[in-house]
């Protein structure tokens, strides 16, 4: 194959340890694969006679095919030598729907320098990478995460900084900064290293995006919400040193320039992570080894989706077609079939028949709930429990018994005569089950294959939530990474060109889903709690409304969010697209691509405002 030498150059702002890489559609550029990116070399801006205020220039020369178009993107990575092999961690990449293009007849321009994220002078469009080989540990700080017992510190602003610690050598911690611990904390804590990566974000700040910690960490407030995300290859080899700092409350513009007082520290060790999600509480110890307070955090462990078809070829994460002004969504197909209102559907909810009829009546998308059967098959059903009828020993009298959906295999779910738990209160309802389409518990695979492919799906991941008193809706026996892997793989396998939305009321589910895909759209991600009025914040990407009236007697499109629905920033939601008869117009604040390509899939996170 004949080739031509092409010089790629790009302005890109990077951090120590970052490497700008190149990926593209030809073998020389790695065929969009994360482990085959082409690393670029950094040159200072002054060396290239460019504006000194601009970021450094990264460049590389590659022999690309002659006589064919070549598409490419830039990405920012960390290249880590781990266990005698180089691993690539994706930090950021260009995600505009149409990649950069070199035409088959284009002539090389040695002086051309691109701007990272900007294509054809359009607005920058980039997003964070997905997990490839690394594990992510998230520590979430809220509801008094730091308690200091000494009265003299009660009115001070508290800051938390988390530093990774290598615990592999003979069980003795050694700082990842390759320096021994000493009294001079500025020398041991503040000299950073590219890997492992720890970033932080606060929902109380002006910018809730994840960013590197500054010298004294990030401020934590009594009723605030702060998240730390750490990436590593083996979580059993990394502990976390938590340092607590304090400042008096000076003027805001001076706060970041004044030194902070180091109050104490604690360790979060690998053996503190007992499961995928949980809570850690550790005593804070002063430099004199006296207990002075307590550090508390909830954690989430996210593992990569192995052998997933994720690459740099295309992403719909920030794509929204300009003609999508309104979308009608059929809730559970034709709507709730067990409510007491006059609009109750006469076709059983969450069945193939209900989904098909909703599409036939003009729904752009259908929403349904997915959970796993005992044999790990994604099934469509709303409640965590079901009712079945058994006969008593004496007299053969029928008695309704409730049991968790998770305890039955797909075959058992589909063969047993079951009822909805609401029927215990309102009496049994009889739905036609003469045809297979009307039977409950259809598999997700069947829905993906049989529903009109032009109809979009809003797949709500059912995961139990914790109530204020500490109890849960339903103790889910499935490990969260396993649960999401099974559902996501089935969608990637059978989704084809369908427009698909994932949603969940559990923020950890949304974060895990977000970190394990490169293609699914993350639209309408925002926080909603008691501090916000749903229709008054102009920054919301979707106007929230409660749609309770159906467009006709057999199709009920309802909203998934209510005003002031949630009490704390640890529980976040977003409404479904349900504009059927609302006067409010949905105005998504995302990239408008003026092309005719269909959006293959979408991702609406009802929870994680920190993921973007």
Instruction: Please give, one letter per residue, the 3-state secondary structure of 356-383.
Output: HHHHHCCCCEEEEEEEECCCCCEEECCC
Strand partners, 267: 241
Say if residue 561's pLDDT is above 70: no
Other Cβ atoms less than 10 A from the Cβ of 362: the count is 13
Range 480-507 average pLDDT:
89
Lowest-pLDDT choice from 4-18, 299-313, 448-462, 574-588: 574-588
Q: For residue 7, what pLDDT is reported? A: 96
As a whole-number percent, the residues of the chain with pLDDT over 70 amount to 73
Q: What is the pLDDT of residue 270?
A: 94
What's the confidence (pLDDT) of residue 543? 26
- Whether the per-residue pLDDT at 102 is higher than 90: the answer is yes
Other CB atoms closer than 10 Å to residue 317's CB: what's the count? 25
CA 604 to CA 321: how far, in whole Å?
A: 15
Average pLDDT over residues 555-564: 30
For the segment 20-49, what is each residue's pLDDT rounded down to a tens digit?
999 999 999 999 999 999 999 998 655 545
- Number of Cβ within 10 Å of residue 454's Cβ equals 11
Rg (CA), the chain: 27
3 state DSSP class of 355: helix
The pLDDT of 6-22, averaged and rounded, is 94
Sign of CA dihedral 143, 145, 151, 154: negative
Residue 355 is predicted with a pLDDT of 94
Q: Give the 3-state DSSP-derived string for 7-24, with helices as H, strands as E and coil as C.
A: EEEEECCCCCCCEEEEEE
Sorted by sequence, the CB contacts under 8 Å of residue 323 that are 6+ apart come out as: none
Q: Return the higher-pLDDT residue of 582 and 46.
A: 46
Average pLDDT score, the chain: 77
| Residues 6 or more apart whose Cβ sits within 8 Å of residue 245 | 158, 159, 160, 161, 216, 217, 260, 261, 262, 263
DSSP letters spanning 577-597: ---TT-SSPP---SEEE-S--
Among the ranges given (32-41, 75-84, 200-209, 424-433), the one the predictor scored with the smallest mean pLDDT: 424-433
Q: Compute the distance between CA of residue 430 and CA of residue 423 in angstroms, rounded to an integer.
A: 10
- pLDDT greater than 70 at residue 598: no
Give pLDDT, residue 466.
79
Q: How confident is the model at residue 317 (pLDDT cuts 50, 70, 90)?
A: low
425: phi then psi, degrees, rounded to nearest 5: -95, -40
Q: Please tell me the predicted confidence (pLDDT) of residue 605.
A: 35
Confidence class for position 531, pLDDT limits 50, 70, 90: very low
CB 458 within 8 A of CB 369: no
Residue range 503-520: mean pLDDT, rounded: 83
pLDDT at residue 143 tops 60 = yes
- What lies within 8 Å, CB to CB, of 47 at 6+ separation is 57
Q: Which of 225-234, 239-248, 544-553 has the lowest mean pLDDT?
A: 544-553
Q: Which residue has the higher pLDDT, 473 or 424?
A: 473
- Per-residue pLDDT for 584 more than 70? no
Domain architecture of the chain: domains with CATH = 3-128 (2.60.40.10), 135-302 (2.60.40), 319-382+436-593 (3.20.20)
| Strand 418-419 relative to strand 385-391, pairing | antiparallel
| Paired tokens of 538 | 């102009």
Confidence of residue 255 (pLDDT cuts 50, 70, 90): low
**Strands, DSSP E only, in 272-364?**
277-285, 291-302, 319-321, 329-331
Mean pLDDT across 482-492:
92
pLDDT recorded at residue 181: 42
pLDDT, tens digit (0-9, with 9 covering 90-100), for 199-219: 999 987 676 888 999 889 999
**What is the DSSP secondary-structure string of 402-470?**
EEEGGGS-HHHHHHS-EE-TTHHHH-------SSGGGSS--BHHHHHHHS-TTSEEEEEE----B-TTS
- Helix, strand, coil share (%) of the chain residues, nearest 5: 15, 30, 55
Instruction: Tell me the two tokens of residue 291.
Output: 């207990």
Contact 73, 26 (CB under 8 A): no
Q: Which is more confidently placed, 429 or 304? A: 304
- Grade residue 323 by pLDDT with cuts at 50, 70 and 90: confident
Please give the pLDDT value at position 192: 56
**pLDDT at 150 exceeding the cut of 70:** yes
At 28 the three-state DSSP class reads helix
pLDDT for 312: 92
pLDDT at 360 over 70: yes
pLDDT at res. 97: 85
Question: Looking at residue 398, what is its pLDDT?
Answer: 77
Give phi and psi for 492, each to the nearest 5.
-65, -30
- Average pLDDT of span 292-310: 91
Q: Give me the percent of the chain exceeding a pLDDT of 90.
A: 41
Banded model confidence at residue 537, pLDDT cuts 50, 70, 90: very low
* DSSP letter for each residue of 477-499: -S-HHHHHHHHHHHHHHH-TT--
pLDDT above 60: residue 585? no
Kindly tell me if the per-residue pLDDT of 388 is higher than 70. Answer: yes
Model pLDDT, residue 241:
95
Residue 20: predicted pLDDT: 97
In the prediction, which pLDDT does 522 show?
40
Question: Is the predicted pLDDT of residue 292 greater than 60, yes or no?
Answer: yes
Residue 128 backbone dihedrals phi, psi, to 5 degrees: -70, 155
Name 88's Cβ contacts closer than 8 Å, sequence gap at least 6: 21, 34, 35, 37, 77, 78, 79, 80, 132
Give residue 458's Cα distance to chain centre: 16
Q: Is the pLDDT of residue 80 over 80?
A: yes
DSSP E strands: which ranges in 120-223?
126-128, 135-142, 146-148, 157-166, 174-175, 197-202, 211-212, 218-220
Residue 259 confidence (pLDDT): 81
Residue 266: CB atoms within 10 A of its CB come to: 19
Global pTM value: 0.79
Per-residue pLDDT, 525: 33
Identify which has the larger pLDDT, 523 or 137: 137
Cα gap 567→576, rounded to integer Å = 20
Whether residue 316 is predicted with pLDDT greater than 50 in this model: the reply is yes
Per the model's pLDDT, the better-predicted residue between 83 and 301 turns out to be 301
Predicted pLDDT at 215: 87
CA distance 358 to 555: 6
- Alpha-carbon span 291 to 288, nearest angstrom: 9
């Amino acid at each position: 194959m004949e080739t031509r030498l092409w010089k790629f150059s790009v302005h890109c702002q990077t951090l120590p340890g970052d490497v700008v890489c190149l990926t593209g559609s030809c073998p020389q550029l790695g065929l969009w694969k994360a482990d085959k990116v082409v690393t670029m070399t950094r040159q200072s801006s002054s060396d290239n006679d460019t504006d000194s205020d601009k970021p450094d220039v990264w460049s590389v020369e590659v022999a690309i095919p002659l006589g064919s178009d070549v598409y490419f993107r830039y990405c920012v990575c960390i290249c880590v030598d781990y266990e005698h092999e180089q691993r690539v961690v994706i930090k950021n990449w260009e995600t505009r729907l149409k990649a950069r293009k070199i035409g088959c007849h284009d002539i090389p321009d040695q002086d051309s320098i691109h701007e990272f994220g900007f294509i054809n002078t359009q607005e920058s469009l980039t997003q964070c990478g997905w997990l490839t080989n690394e594990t992510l540990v998230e520590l979430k700080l809220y509801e008094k995460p730091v308690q200091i017992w000494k009265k003299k510190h009660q009115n001070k602003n508290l800051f938390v900084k988390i530093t990774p610690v290598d615990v592999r050598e003979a069980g003795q911690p050694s700082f990842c900064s390759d320096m021994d611990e000493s009294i001079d904390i500025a020398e041991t804590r503040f000299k950073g290293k590219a890997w492992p990566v720890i970033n932080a974000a606060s929902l109380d700040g002006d910018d809730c995006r994840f960013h590197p910690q500054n010298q004294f960490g990030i401020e934590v407030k009594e009723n605030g919400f702060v998240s730390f995300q750490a990436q590593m290859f083996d979580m059993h080899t990394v502990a976390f040193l938590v340092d607590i700092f304090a400042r008096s409350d000076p003027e805001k513009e001076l706060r970041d320039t004044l030194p902070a007082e180091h109050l104490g520290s604690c360790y979060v060790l690998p053996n503190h992570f007992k499961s995928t999600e949980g809570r850690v509480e550790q005593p804070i110890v002063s430099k004199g080894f006296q207990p002075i307070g307590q550090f508390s955090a909830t954690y989430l462990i996210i593992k990569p989706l192995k052998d997933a078809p994720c690459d740099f070829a295309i992403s719909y994460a920030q794509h929204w077609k300009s003609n999508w002004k309104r979308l009608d969504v059929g809730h559970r197909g034709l709507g709730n079939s067990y409510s007491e209102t006059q609009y109750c559907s006469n076709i059983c909810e969450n069945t193939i028949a209900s989904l098909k009829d909703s599409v036939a009546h003009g729904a752009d998308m259908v929403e349904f709930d997915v959970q796993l059967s005992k044999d790990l098959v994604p099934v469509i059903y709303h409640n965590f429990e079901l009712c079945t009828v058994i006969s008593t020993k004496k007299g053969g009298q029928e008695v309704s018994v409730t049991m968790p959906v998770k305890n039955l295999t797909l075959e058992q779910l589909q063969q047993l005569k079951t009822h909805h738990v609401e029927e215990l209160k309102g009496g049994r309802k009889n739905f036609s089950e003469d045809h297979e389409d009307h039977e409950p518990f259809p598999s997700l695979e069947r829905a993906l294959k049989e529903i009109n492919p032009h109809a979009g799906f809003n797949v709500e991941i059912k995961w139990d939530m914790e109530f204020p008193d500490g109890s849960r809706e339903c103790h889910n026996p499935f490990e969260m990474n396993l649960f999401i892997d099974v559902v996501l793989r089935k969608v990637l396998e059978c989704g084809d060109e369908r427009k698909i939305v994932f949603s969940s009321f559990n923020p950890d589910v949304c974060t895990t889903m977000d970190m394990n895909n490169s293609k699914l759209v993350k639209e309408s991600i925002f926080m909603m709690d008691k501090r916000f009025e749903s229709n008054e914040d102009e920054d919301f990407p979707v106007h929230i409304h409660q749609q309770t009236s159906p467009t006709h007697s057999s199709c009920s499109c309802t909203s998934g969010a209510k005003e002031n629905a949630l009490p704390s920033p640890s529980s976040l939601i977003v409404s479904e697209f349900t504009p059927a008869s609302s006067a409010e117009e949905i105005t998504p604040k995302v990239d408008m691509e003026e092309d005719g390509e269909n959006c293959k899939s979408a991702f609406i996170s009802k929870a994680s405002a920190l993921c973007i």
